[in-house]
Amino acid sequence: MLTTENIAWPAPAKLNLFLHINGRRDDGYHELQTLFIFLDHCDWLTFHLNDSNQIDITPALADVPMEQNLIYRAAQLLKQHSEQPLGVTITLDKHLPMGGGIGGGSSDAATTLVALNHLWKINLSVDELAELGRQLGADVPVFVRGHAAFAEGVGERLQPVEIDKKWYVVLVPACHVSTADVFRHKDLKRDTPKQTWDELAHGNWHNDCEPLVKKNYPEVEKALRWLIEYAPSRMTGTGACVFAEFEHEHEARALLARMPTWLQGFVARGENLSPLYVTLQQVYARND
């Protein structure tokens, strides 16, 4: 019998279809404009509840201390909203690369917040969960809210949007790009003029982080150089992953089949509604 405790909860990848850096604030953060969509390519988390008052994660992430693991931090943050001895063992089936710019850690954290909010019966609102998520990382709220969005400010102002569903080839270069290092770098382009969403929806999209990342991470430059031979291509987020867009699945898979052996990658469909919220709706429907 399927129960809510043996459901595998998806933590989907995201793409930034553009990332425009508009300036640097006095507090060191950056004003930006970006467009988030979700992919149907996911990490998967399973939650087994207990009354141990402990949070355990298996398997452990290599080179990531438990206190820095965003899954652990998300569970601990949520646990503070209950006086019960809540415990859980979280099993992670990892598919999204770390440092790839497709939101692996942020998405895992958001899925932990959303799933345990339901399983632990904490019953926080989406707004409250998004505010908790903001404490964990700038991208966590968009995963918590679960809808494709145009983001402004430092990424905290989200406007839900509907984007035509496309197919994507996503390449995963063999490197880890530090978001903090990219935003600290003196050569980062920071002067793209702000535009309204109506202007951007039909505009010429680009990623202001791409020139800097290509310069400092030759693996990204090499992957993008190969991909752009076949289709218009760019980097997502602060990297390292790069992507190309297609109307049809067979076109994307045909290109992936030509991928050289020194590259890794996958094909995924773009989604406006996060796979996490499809799962949550199914859970609610089963409980009614």
The residues carrying an active-site annotation are: 14, 139
For residue 17, which phi and psi values (nearest 5 degrees)?
-70, -25
CA distances from residue 52 to 48, 55, 84, 87, 180 in whole angstroms, order as listed: 11, 8, 10, 5, 36
Ordered alpha helix ranges (H), 64-209: 70-79, 104-119, 126-134, 140-145, 179-184, 197-200
Strand partners, 265: 171
Question: In terms of Cα–Cα distance, which of 137, 134, 129, 15 is closest to 78?
Answer: 129
| C-alpha distance from residue 196 to each of 20, 66, 150, 209 (Å) | 12, 41, 10, 20
Buried b (16+ CB within 10 A) or exposed e, 91-128: ebeeebbebbbbbbbbbbbbbbbbbbbbbbebeeeeee
Report yes or no: 114 and 47 within 8 Å, Cβ to Cβ. Answer: no
- Shortest CA distance to 87 belongs to which of 57, 126, 124? 57
Q: Which residues contact 273 (CB under 8 A, 6 or more apart)?
A: 38, 146, 147, 148
Q: Give the torsion through C-alpha atoms of 13, 64, 75, 37, to 10 deg.
A: -10
